[in-house]
Structure formats: structure tokens, C-alpha cells
């Protein structure tokens, strides 16, 4: 029964995803579609962190590093290759490779969780300050100038292998949404596989997993690398939706934001972080337009409230609430049935009398 | 089959294990006993490569364990149970045992092993319960089940009966004797009564060294062992 519920929820997520995929460009104006594309790219980042933190127990405070690397690698590769098809593949690979290299030192060096969080955060902050300082014309890779704090203008995605046909923003939305759906179902498949279940056991108890004969360093490294690749994919979509990639993707604000999405949406689920990112994106942009509260203050408050009141996050809490209501309704129904049966028995007795 | 050659483990100035030569034959069931701080657990951790010995070596079936990782030891077919229950508290009983079975067996075969183990340990009623919600004795039993599910040929248990009720201890003793039919075993224990139930040969640790090795009767009759266990009789 548990399994069928899981399948049902996956199917409904898929349907909702398809509705958004085909419905949004028809019903929304161009500006909304573009901002939705941005939100989706951030949701992909949230998903990647939800995967490695929720299912691998790896608290990466600098998941934005791979997001930003993906975006930058895409921009640089697309400029140099003169087309986006190879650039997308290259950018995902570069982000994955960056995660693999960093992960190798962290996991094979057997760093504990706290150091891991600090190091990943430091890496993203180092990238932030290094790339900010690359404004001179001498800082370039191929023909792509890094552009310092102004960043790089990102060439838009084109049709596969045809660099003359650029995609319009509403088409970029389709690509982003499909990327999110593919990444989501890849993560679902991964967490159901033997590999994913071993990763969950590592999250639960590292020593035990190791004493069962699993090389936990290797499992964590693989998980981290997949997370890096997905974050890189998000970065590519982000760069495309904005049309520009700047060092700000690496800053502390964004690094912390990714953590907050996962906490709010629900760690240990995959859809939770996606929701968390979407909700906060729209909430902060709404509040930004109102300009009544300081957004950082607001985010801090949200985080405190969630940690204190809804520590499991939105999605797991909603599921729990739903289950409790359902079981209460079930018991109420069966109680009613019992009462009815009791009454009819009384009637029978009377008839017999 | 398992041998340690002048194995030593120092923590700073403290010598926890001091030049221990230990050997174990195929299909043996050996108990390690000794008072608190005798070095049993450190010795256990050296055997399972959780600690890297300061000097000396551990050899299991011609494989030098001393320089390797504990997952490599486990992968050789060594079943390990640590002193504190080491389980996946957030997962259910079935998943816990399945994770152990599927390390070496195919996915199909590990499902079979899982249900066999659950049946053998009479854990059917709780197979879907989260480990964290179970009583201590049941958790210990599940951990034994995880050891079993790996189908090991060498089993190393650290205090398998800690915190168990009398009834559970008896059942555990039965299980251990059964495991011993197909595997060589080392059991680190405190509980003399339990050791009497299972042991043939006993090794007594004291201050990081082997004090005595022999049959249970021999050991429990030995004056030095009594003194080590019961404290300084002369002064009292």
C-alpha cells in the first residue's frame, strides 16, 4: 500500500509538471515566463542539494559553487564553440568534475560533517572573490572574457547542432522545465536504486555501513558528483534565463539560500526542496516589489520559524498531517459502522422477542 | 586462519594492547574476556581495521588487515557487530537486513536471504517497524541478523548480550552456536554466565596482554583470573 501511494504521488508530480510545462507559456505573459524559468533553474539547484543532503547526509554549504561553475562553463564554452549543444554537455561535465575533485579530497580525507560544510562554503566564497577580480581584458578563456563583477553575457541556447537558430525565452522555459523534470525523475530513480539505498544507510550510520563492507567514501563521492552535475545543469538554465552570469551566484547570500530552500521544503524528500525554492523565490520577489520589509530579515525570520515550528519542512509535515486526518476519518467511519451494527443487532433482538 | 603478531596499540602514552600474539583455528568459537580497560575492545577494533595498530600485524586468511580499511575486511566475508548497537535507526528491520545481504549477494538472492533471516530470528512481527522504535534486545537481535545476512565465514561480535534480558541471552546463545556451525567466531564478552553457555576456549585479557588461554573450567578455576575479575582480594 505504501508503494502504491509512492507511485501515485510520482504520477501526480509528473502530471503537474507536464501541465506547467505546456500550460505556463500559454497562460502567462513573457515576463512571467522568464521569471518562472529563473525559478525553475533555482529549483534544480535545490533538488541537487536535496539529493546529496537529504539522501546522502552530505551537508554541502556551497552547492552554489557547482551551480555557478555550470553557468560559467556554459557561457565560456558557448562563446568558444559558437553553439550551445556541446556547451551544455561540457558545462554539466565541468560541474561534475569540479564536484568529483573536491569530493575526492573531502571524502577520501575522511572529513567530518562540520568541516565539510565549512570547506564547501569556503570554496564558493573563494570563487566569488576570485572571479570578481577578473575584470581586466587579460582574463579570458579562449575568446570569452570573464568580465569580473559584470560577468559574461550568455549566448542563448540554439537548436541542437544548429547555431543559427536561437531559442526564444519561452522556448528556453520548455528546456528548463524538461531539465527539471528529467533531473527530478533521475533523482527518484537514483534514491530507489541499490546505490541510493546504500547512500541512505550512510546517512543513517556511517560506521555500520562501512562494517557491512561498503566503501562509504566511494558512495559519497558518486552522490556528490551527481549532485554537482545537477547543480551545474541548474546553473546553465539560470544563465540562460537571465542572459548573463555574474560572480554573485557564488556569494554567501545564495549559498545560504539553497540551504534554506531545503530546510523549508523538507529534507529527505526530493519534491520538498523544489517547492521550497519556488515558494521562496516568489515570496522574496513579491516582497522585493513591496519594499516594506528587508528581505534578509524576512528570510532569517522564516528560517527561525521553520526550524522551531516545522523542523521537518513543508512537504513531510503536510504528508504527516494528511495521514493523521485520514486515519482519524477512518477510525470515525469504523466507529460509526460499529455503532450502526450494534443498533441493528439490538433491533434483531427486539424482533426475536 | 586469524593471527595477530605482536600487535600493539598505543594511545599517546597509554598502551591499550601490548604485543599480543593471538591465533584462531578454522571453525573455532573463541571468547575474549577481561575486566574493563583490559584492551578487549581496542583489540576488536584492530581486528576489524577500525583502528590502525601502532605496531605488529593482523592477518586473516593470508591477508594483512593492518593497513586496510574496515570495509575491505568486511568484504572478505567477515561479519562484525560492534559494542554499541550500530544500526540504521531511521530504516525498518527489513531494510537493515537487506542492506547487509545485498552487499555481497545479488538483488534477487538478497531478498530471499532477508526473509530467511527474519524468519530465523522470529522478527516477522516487526519487519516493517523502524529500528529506532524497537526495544534494546530486539535491536541487538536485528544486528545479529545483519551479521547473519552477510553470510560470513568469520564472525566477530563485541558484547552481543549487553543490556539483554535473561530470555534474550539464552536465545542469543542458541543463535551463536548455530552461526558457529558454518563460521569461525570471536565473541568479546563481559557476562560470565553467557560465556559458560557458549564457550569452548577462552582467552583472558588483562592490561593489554593475554593473561591466560584455556577451557572455561580451567580459566574459571585459575586464581589469577579470579583476582583480576574480583579485585584485590588480599587487601579486602
- B154-164 residue pLDDT tens: 999 988 888 88
Residues in chain B closer than 8 A to A108 (CB atoms): none
Q: What is the pLDDT of residues A167-189, one digit of tens each?
A: 888 899 999 999 999 999 999 99
CA distance B103 to chain A (A): 7
User: Residue B71's domain is classified under what CATH number?
Assistant: 3.40.50.300
Instruction: Please tell me the distance from the alpha carbon of residue A63 to that of residue B169, in angstroms, as a whole number.
Output: 49
Nearest to B74 among A204, A205, A211 (CB): A211
Secondary structure of chain A as H, E, C letters: CHHHHHHHHHHHHHHHHHHHHHHHHHHCCHHHHHHHHHHHHHHHHHHHHHHHHHHHCCCCCCHHHHHHHHHHHHHHHHHHHCCCHHHHHHHHHHHHHHHHHHHHHHHHCCCCHHHHHHHHHHHHHHHHHHHHCCCCCCCEECCEECCHHHCEECCCCEECCEEEEECCHHHHHHHHHHHHHHHHHHHHHHHHCHHHHHHHHHHHCHHHHHHCCCCHHHHHHHHHHHHHHHHHHHHHHHHHHHCEECHHHHCHHHHHHHHHHHHHHCCCCCHHHHHHHHHHHHHHHHHHHHCCCCHHHHHHHHHHHHHHHCCCCHHHHHHHHHHHHHHHHHHHHHHHHHHHHHHHHHHHHHHHC
Q: Is B101 a member of any domain?
A: no
Residues in chain B closer than 8 A to A57 (CB atoms): none
Q: What is the mean pLDDT of residues A276-282?
A: 94
Residues in chain B closer than 8 A to A211 (CB atoms): 48, 50, 70-71, 74, 80, 82, 86
Q: How many CB pairs under 8 A join A and B?
A: 62
Question: Residue A190 has what pLDDT?
Answer: 96
Whether residue A351 is predicted with pLDDT greater than 70 in this model: the reply is no
CA distance B50 to chain A (A): 9
Question: Residue B236 has what pLDDT?
Answer: 37
Quote the number of domains for chain B: 1
Per the model's pLDDT, the better-predicted residue between B89 and B84 turns out to be B89
Q: Is B94 a member of any domain?
A: no
CA neighbor of B185 nearest in space, from B199, B172, B167, B197 = B199
Other C-beta atoms lying within 10 Å of the C-beta of residue B225: 21
A108 touches chain B (CB under 8 A): no
B8 is in which domain, residue-wise?
A: 1-77+188-236
**Are A213 and B71 an interchain contact pair (Cβ–Cβ within 8 Å)?**
yes
Residues in chain B closer than 8 A to A204 (CB atoms): 88-91
C-alpha cell at A30: 513573457
Q: Cell 564554452 appears where?
A: A77
Per the model's pLDDT, the better-predicted residue between A59 and B229 turns out to be A59
Q: Is B152 a member of any domain?
A: no
Q: What is the pLDDT of residues A87-107, one digit of tens each?
A: 999 999 999 999 999 999 999
Secondary structure of A37-99 as H, E, C letters: HHHHHHHHHHHHHHHHHHHHCCCCCCHHHHHHHHHHHHHHHHHHHCCCHHHHHHHHHHHHHHH
Whether residue B234 is predicted with pLDDT greater than 90 in this model: the reply is no
Q: Is B109 a member of any domain?
A: no
**Are B103 and A207 an interchain contact pair (Cβ–Cβ within 8 Å)?**
no
Q: What is the mean pLDDT of residues A314-337?
A: 84
Helix, strand, or coil here: B184? strand
CATH architecture observed for domain A28-312: Orthogonal Bundle (1.10)
Whether residue A289 is predicted with pLDDT greater than 60 in this model: the reply is yes
CA distance B102 to chain A (A): 8
Q: What is the pLDDT of residues A138-156, one digit of tens each?
A: 888 888 889 888 999 998 8
CA distance B154 to chain A (A): 13
Question: What are the structural domain ranges in chain A?
Answer: 28-312
Q: Which residue of A has its CA nearest to B74?
A: A213
Per the model's pLDDT, the better-predicted residue between A69 and B216 turns out to be A69
Q: Is B10 a member of any domain?
A: yes
Q: What is the pLDDT of residues B38-72, one digit of tens each?
A: 888 899 999 988 889 999 999 998 888 888 888 99
CA distance A267 to chain B (A): 14
CA neighbor of B196 nearest in space, from B169, B178, B175 = B169
Amino acid at each position: 500500500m505504501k508503494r502504491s501511494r509512492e507511485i501515485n504521488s510520482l504520477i501526480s508530480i509528473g502530471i503537474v509538471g507536464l501541465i506547467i510545462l505546456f500550460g505556463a507559456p500559454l497562460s502567462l505573459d513573457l515576463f512571467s515566463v522568464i521569471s518562472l524559468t529563473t525559478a525553475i533553474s533555482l529549483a534544480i539547484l535545490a533538488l541537487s542539494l536535496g539529493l546529496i543532503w537529504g539522501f546522502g547526509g552530505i551537508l554541502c554549504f556551497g552547492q552554489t559553487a557547482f551551480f555557478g561553475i555550470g553557468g560559467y562553463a556554459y557561457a565560456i564554452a558557448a562563446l568558444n564553440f559558437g553553439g550551445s549543444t556541446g556547451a551544455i554537455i561540457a558545462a554539466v561535465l565541468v560541474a561534475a568534475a569540479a564536484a568529483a575533485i573536491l569530493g575526492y579530497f573531502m571524502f577520501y580525507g575522511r572529513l567530518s560533517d562540520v568541516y565539510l560544510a565549512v570547506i564547501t562554503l569556503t570554496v564558493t566564497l573563494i570563487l566569488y572573490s576570485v572571479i570578481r577580480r577578473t575584470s581586466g581584458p587579460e582574463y579570458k578563456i579562449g575568446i570569452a572574457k570573464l568580465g569580473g563583477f559584470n560577468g559574461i553575457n550568455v549566448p542563448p541556447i540554439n537548436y541542437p547542432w544548429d547555431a543559427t537558430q536561437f531559442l526564444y525565452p519561452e522556448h528556453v522555459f520548455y528546456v528548463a522545465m524538461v531539465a527539471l523534470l528529467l533531473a527530478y525523475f533521475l533523482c527518484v530513480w537514483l534514491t530507489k536504486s541499490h546505490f541510493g539505498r546504500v547512500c541512505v544507510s550512510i546517512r543513517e550510520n556511517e560506521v555500520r555501513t562501512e562494517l557491512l563492507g561498503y566503501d562509504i567514501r566511494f558512495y559519497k563521492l558518486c552522490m556528490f558528483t551527481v549532485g554537482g552535475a545537477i547543480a551545474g545543469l541548474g546553473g546553465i538554465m539560470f544563465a540562460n534565463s537571465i542572459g548573463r552570469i555574474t560572480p554573485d551566484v557564488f556569494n554567501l547570500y545564495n549559498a545560504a539560500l539553497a540551504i534554506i530552500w531545503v530546510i523549508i521544503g523538507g529534507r529527505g524528500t526530493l519534491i520538498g526542496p523544489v517547492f521550497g525554492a519556488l515558494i521562496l523565490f516568489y515570496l522574496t520577489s513579491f516582497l522585493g516589489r513591496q519594499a516594506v520589509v528587508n528581505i534578509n530579515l524576512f528570510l532569517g525570520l522564516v528560517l527561525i520559524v521553520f526550524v522551531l515550528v516545522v523542523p521537518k519542512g513543508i512537504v513531510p509535515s503536510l504528508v504527516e498531517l494528511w495521514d493523521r486526518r485520514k486515519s482519524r476519518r477512518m477510525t470515525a467511519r469504523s466507529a460509526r459502522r460499529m455503532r450502526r451494527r450494534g443498533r441493528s443487532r439490538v433491533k434483531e433482538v427486539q424482533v426475536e422477542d | 586462519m586469524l593471527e595477530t603478531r605482536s600487535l600493539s596499540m598505543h594511545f599517546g602514552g597509554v598502551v591499550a594492547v601490548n604485543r599480543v600474539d593471538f591465533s584462531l583455528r578454522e571453525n573455532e568459537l573463541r571468547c575474549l574476556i577481561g575486566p574493563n580497560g583490559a584492551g578487549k575492545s581496542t583489540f576488536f577494533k584492530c581486528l576489524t581495521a577500525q583502528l590502525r595498530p601502532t605496531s605488529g600485524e593482523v592477518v586473516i586468511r593470508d591477508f594483512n588487515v593492518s593497513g586496510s580499511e574496515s570495509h575491505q575486511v568486511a568484504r572478505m566475508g567477515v561479519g562484525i557487530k560492534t559494542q554499541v548497537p550500530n544500526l540504521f535507526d531511521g530504516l525498518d528491520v527489513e531494510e537493515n537486513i537487506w542492506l547487509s545481504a545485498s552487499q555481497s549477494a545479488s538483488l534477487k538472492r538478497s531478498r530471499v536471504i532477508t526473509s530467511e533471516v527474519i524468519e530465523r530470528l522470529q522478527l516477522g512481527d516487526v519487519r516493517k517497524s523502524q529500528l529506532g522504535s524497537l526495544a534494546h534486545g530486539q535491536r541487538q537481535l536485528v544486528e545479529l541478523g545483519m551479521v547473519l545476512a552477510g553470510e560470513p565465514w568469520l564472525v566477530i561480535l563485541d558484547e552481543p548480550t549487553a543490556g539483554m534480558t535473561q530470555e534474550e541471552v539464552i536465545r542469543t546463545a542458541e543463535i551463536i552456536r548455530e552461526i558457529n556451525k558454518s563460521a569461525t567466531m570471536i565473541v568479546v564478552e563481559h557476562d560470565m554466565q553467557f560465556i559458560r553457555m557458549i564457550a569452548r576456549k577462552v582467552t583472558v585479557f588483562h592490561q593489554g596482554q593475554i593473561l591466560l588461554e584455556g577451557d572455561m573450567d580451567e580459566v574459571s578455576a585459575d586464581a589469577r583470573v579470579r583476582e583480576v575479575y574480583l579485585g584485590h582480594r588480599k587487601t579486602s
